[in-house]
Structure 1
Amino acid sequence: MDVVYRFQSSIPYSLHDGRVKRMVWENGDLRLFFEDGYLELSQPPCPVEGQVRIRQVDEDFSYVHFLSDYGRFGSFQGEKMPLSEFIRRYPDFSFEIVGEYYGYQSLVYGGYLSIPERESVVDMTLSITYTGAIVYERAE
């Protein structure tokens, strides 16, 4: 017998093409601040100003991967860094989210990181483990 599964998202917002400009720890939660908000997945889709709060983030299992410049294919030298260290080391950045992936108590945002000390953008993934909820805080 075949069992067919097709993922059906119930996420009300998309962060695709959103630019995170700052991340802040707040009592075990992580808040993402956006340059221009994110997108409500209504018909038609509608831009929304606001932040995203990820509740009860496990700092020991949340990190970033720096991959290749400009997202090039082939060999490269990468780096894995704890998320808390990234936030301390890079207070001034812009992270454009291209892909968002959600699983059981984990999420991965993939995209491109811009920092002032680098001329090129860096392909980066942000991996977060959490036990709370994802809260979309709308500025209304």
Structure 2
Amino acid sequence: MDFVNDRGCDFRFSLHDSRIREIAYDGNTLTLQLDQLFQYTEDKETVFSGKVLFDKCDLDECSVWVFDETVYRGDFSGKAIGMKEYMRQYSDAEFEIITEGYFGYNTTLTGWIFEDGKKPVSAVIYILNSGDMTYRIDE
């Protein structure tokens, strides 16, 4: 079941605490495969599995900032890479979303990258798309 995000109103879903298990791109749509999505209604929270699709997405306009460690305060260092490089370099990693922000056609996800055998590191994902953002719920 698909739910298209209305960028001008309250969001019915949250990605906080979700983990991105896989990122795919088909030349137009960037897809984030998630372990869980949260839907909030007046009286309850419901957890689903599914995907988030960003239509009309140009990967050259998307980037990821990967820090050398988890960042809370003080000095930090890291690198900024393109989404294509992130998808290659971190294909076996999971990205846990801590906060999410939506600003026009820009989506910002902050969180931690988890790789087997390594300490987690902080990261920020920037996604720019001019089409719909769709929550696709597994049935």
TM over 0.5: yes
Moved runs in structure 1, 4+ residues, more than 4 A?
none
Q: How far off is 1:55 after superposition? A: 0.8
Q: CA–CA distance in 2 between the matches of 1:131 and 1:96?
A: 25
Q: How far off is 1:68 after superposition? A: 4.3
Paired letter, 1:91: S
Give the match for residue 116 of structure 2: 116
Q: How far off is 1:76 after superposition? A: 2.0
Q: Deviations over 1:37-93 (max 9, x none)?
A: 110011211101211111111212100001241224211221000011100122101
Q: Report how many residues are paired.
A: 131
Give the match for residue 79 of structure 2: 79
Larger radius of gyration: 1
By relative contact order (CA 8 Å, sep 6+), the higher-ranking structure is 2
Gaps of at least 5 residues in structure 2 are 1-7
**In structure 1, the residue corresponding to 2:130 is in which secondary structure?**
coil
- Taking structure 1 as the reference length, what is the TM-score of the superposition? 0.87
Query: 2:55 aligned with 1:55, yes or no?
Result: yes
Q: CA–CA distance in 1 between the matches of 2:58 and 2:44?
A: 35
Q: CA–CA distance in 1 between the matches of 2:29 and 2:9?
A: 23
Give the match for residue 125 of structure 1: 124
Query: 2:13 aligned with 1:13, yes or no?
Result: yes
Paired letter, 1:38: L
Give the match for residue 4 of structure 1: none
Q: CA–CA distance in 2 between the matches of 1:9 and 1:67?
A: 32
Paired letter, 1:134: M
Give the match for residue 3 of structure 2: none
Paired letter, 2:22: R
CA RMSD after TM alignment: 1.5
Q: CA–CA distance in 2 between the matches of 1:91 and 1:107?
A: 21
Q: CA–CA distance in 1 between the matches of 2:113 and 2:14?
A: 18
Give the match for residue 135 of structure 1: 134
Q: Deviations over 1:92-124 (max 9, x none)?
A: 01111010000111010000111236x211110
Give the match for residue 4 of structure 2: none
61-70 vs 17-26, which moves further: 61-70
